Structure 1
């Protein structure tokens, strides 16, 4: 059986890895004033757009999820011919319309694919499963990596589906935003009350940085520290201990809202990478998606992994 994998561009995985493993992309479009860019996970294009538009006006950006009609067209034009079963792995539905759009498209796809496949010489059924990763940023990268690993190992589609749905409930993302004032402006523009005005004001005055957490689609702070680098060091140290305690997949994802070389100089990074190497954990590093940067700000860092239930400490 030919198994395909589709993700949206909010998923923080390197473009080179996506292309090498034939993982298809649903791009998210970002508009700031008269400027517009469809995010195809091109790191240089993302950084150029960020430097030109996001730093000063990013909090006013409008993002457009890949619409249901275009998802349907992508599947009927290509994917129902190229594959027999496709997993569409989306950013958490609590933060984006992509999951609902893909679900709506799936009904039309499954109703219309038969004559298209027949003309291509395929008379077997086509199947599609849309899975909510329940994650954001680097946390969203865990499921596609595991899906590719299982597909390449010859796992059957029902077994892959069961594993991905299990991992969605055990995936974690942690983030340190660099500029809490930007994050407050962005959430206010979106009508999101996730970061209170008082917290943003105090945070800016005292240089307090929260460590934020996403699990099963829910987000919130788990710690607050004075200074960006101390918060990063705390987060890297925590991730190192989780790696040493054992992860549910041999995967850890890192994304950074800027040049990756700047991330690699942050305190605690080298110890985390060393722990991953010692425990055979593959590390995926990438520039944060354009969608991510306009929502949480330039210079923010996120970590994603799958693990048993735990408390941040």
Structure 2
């Protein structure tokens, strides 16, 4: 039985990975200050967005259009393809809720359509790592139940540890409070945040970017398990220099060998901003 893995662009997976593992991607929408609409990863390159943000341009985001979701689901329903859709955290976007509504509508026309919609409670490459694992399992012939069980485990145990260059981007998007944003901009203090049950939670504030790198590694050591044999996810906001530094530190400390490194997408980048650096790993394996 063929099982199709579907996700949205908040998973921040490269076009190469999407193609290699035959993953269907539904793009979120991004709008500039003139209300021009772009499709994340399709008609707007995330690096262009991040560089524009450095110049002061402001973007806002929206979930995928209902028509796009319906078109994707209907395409597979017509051909009786079993689908698993791994959605962006419901605490950060309305994408999951909308996809559930659309899925119910499509099933009214195609009652035998096998579609499971999962609220990953993850974001960016944290979501992407779950999607990749599911797609690899589907490609290797795993059953739907086996894939769903693995998804449930990974979404429960996926750590998201990240820092941003400027909290004001998250403040503007309503993702953290204005007070946290104000403090974060003082005296070169850099915030470390994570995602807990799908929500953004500030962990601590560190003075100086170099100390942030070391603290991220320390948190990995405390929370991670068998990191050497994991695939470690890293996403960044147009900052490969920091990626290289952190990758070297992680490799030296834990002996990690497999990394999935991607730029944050335009939808995530519009809120996190340039200079974002995020690490994803499992706290149980």
Same fold at TM > 0.5: yes
Change over 3 Å in CA distance of 1:308–1:106 after alignment to 2: same
Query: How many residue pairs align between the two structures?
Result: 284
Gaps of 5+ in 1: 115-124
User: Equivalent residue for 2:185?
Assistant: 204
- Out of 295, 300, 303, the residue aligned to residue 271 of structure 2 is 295
Shift of 1:241: 6.2
Note the 1:7-18 alignment, pairs <5 A.
7-18=7-18
* CA RMSD across the alignment: 2.6
Shift of 1:247: 5.1
Change over 3 Å in CA distance of 1:306–1:159 after alignment to 2: same
Note the 1:16-95 alignment, pairs <5 A.
16-34=16-34, 35-40=36-41, 45-53=45-53, 55-58=55-58, 61-76=59-74, 78-81=75-78, 84-95=81-92
User: Equivalent residue for 2:243?
Assistant: 264
Shift of 1:306: 2.0
Change over 3 Å in CA distance of 1:29–1:137 after alignment to 2: same
- Out of 146, 153, 170, the residue aligned to residue 140 of structure 2 is 153
Change over 3 Å in CA distance of 1:230–1:83 after alignment to 2: farther
Q: Alpha-carbon deviations, 1:228-258, whole Å to 9, x = none?
A: 2321232134336655x31598322110010
CA distance in 1, matches of 2:185, 2:149: 44
**What secondary structure sits across from 2:121 in the alignment?**
coil
Note the 1:89-128 alignment, pairs <5 A.
89-113=86-110, 125-128=112-115
TM norm structure 2: 0.89
Shift of 1:70: 2.4
User: Equivalent residue for 1:117?
Assistant: none
- Out of 177, 188, 191, the residue aligned to residue 195 of structure 1 is 177
TM norm structure 1: 0.82
Shift of 1:286: 0.5
Gaps of 5+ in 2: none
CA distance in 1, matches of 2:30, 2:70: 21
- Out of 246, 252, 255, the residue aligned to residue 226 of structure 2 is 246
Which 4+ stretches in 1 moved above 4 angstroms?
240-243
